[in-house]
Chains A and B, each alone.
Chain A
């Protein structure tokens, strides 16, 4: 516990970063705030994501994780602050960023091949590039043999593999993941977590990984951002000094249990407070 407290450092003092190479930053977010009408979702959010760093975001459902990702992606406007990604101020979706959606976001009228090709085509790739890259990425996510399948013919896990391939195919330098494995069963989820880590270590990028699973956040992230409060803000940025490459043995690492416990406490004392509120 005290060990974990020692780890707590302001986000800009990142020199002793354990793994993630944090400088130069791929995403720089300053003073982010977002409202939906009268509902202030989050405020005063500052963070950076390094070129080869995974920042995991945890927080209770409804705390604005999806909203934050959509702002980073430029899908919805901010009310305060600014996001700079790839050296460009984000006001609308920019090149080099790809989102993996919680409910996959596959087009049901397109086959796996056509879905994976979609991002590439929209990015203006040539036919030759598409013909070369699509099979490569379908293979990379383990969907070989399902090129002509439609989403309805596949399990949730396979659909998300397809969503992942579509995002990876544009070879983004920022990957945004919105609870990508929340809609698949527990075993598939574990398999996909380790596959994503394998794929990431082959081709590291900046990644923002939103999850409501504390375990998943600690497993995936170089750092874990704990969002809480109403409106929510960053409660703590936890350094996860577990070695990379991460794999199943990471789960058995004694540090893993300690860090998970620490993040759990960060997230939970709000849950307890909320419960107390209910009983007042």
Chain B
């Protein structure tokens, strides 16, 4: 719609603007790398990470068995924990959003726990679960579930009254109303919560690995740093950053693919 309404000159300028922006971004990135590389060469001992070292170490590191195993462990725990958080968080969020009693009962706890840094509870979790992958899973769930609960309960609360009325007029059961009206209307909120939760889950997994010395990317970074393989450690750090970007892209893709109505409504409003 906006494309048709705009005069022809604007898209051309926009295209130019975009390439300007990209150029600025690249120049800035190269400048940072150059300063970093130069500073390291001038003042740092050779084992400290630097762009050229990372570039050389990149491929061997990400194809090494140790790295792949570590990445698998971290991502596996993150996926598993997020799955638990999504299911349990959606159920609890719907309850809070639609039931006055559940809201009163849980509101403060959920908000309090959401605000609490998960690092604080990590010692307790290792006490309960031992220094095992169970503790990491618990950390991931703990780190991510409250973001889901809060967003889903917001979504469930703000289902337009009209939709509820339509379902009542057609004599839908309470359960069907929850599954077919409240839940789909809350899915955009769930995705927003999941976006936030995924970042927190990754942090949770890595911190738990640091703390409990569990095999995973967190421990991989720790171990390589302590054994003076800073370039290798930095490759893992870069990969963690890439996971974050990948999750973001996947969410956008999923929204476009599975919630075409949502983006459109967003733009229209």
Contacts and interface: CB of A to CB of B under 8 A. Distances in A.
A109 B171 contact: no
Interface string B16-35: 00000000000000000000
B166 A108 contact: no
Interface string B155-196: 000000011011111111000100011001101000000000
Contacts of B261: 108-109, 150-152
Contacts, number: 58
A73 B168 CA distance: 10
Interface in B216-269: 259-262, 264-265, 268
A151 B163 CA distance: 14
A109 B184 contact: yes
A150 B171 contact: no
Interface of B: 162-163, 165-172, 176, 180-181, 184-185, 187, 259-262, 264-265, 268
Nearest to A73: B169
B167 A103 contact: no
A93 B169 contact: yes
Interface string A21-36: 0000000000000000
Interface stretch (A94-102, A239-247, A265-273): A94-102
14 contacts: A93-B168, A93-B169, A93-B170, A93-B171, A99-B169, A101-B165, A108-B265, A109-B185, A109-B261, A109-B262, A118-B170, A123-B170, A123-B171, A152-B261
B265 A122 contact: no
A105 B163 contact: yes
Interface of A: 70, 73, 75, 93-95, 97-99, 101, 103, 105, 107-109, 118-119, 122-123, 150-153, 170
A101 B162 contact: yes
* Interface hub of B163, B176, B261, B265 (most chain A Cβ within 10 A): B261
Given A109-B187, A109-B261, A152-B268, A103 B162 contact: yes
Given A122-B176, A150-B260, A150-B261, A107 B181 contact: yes
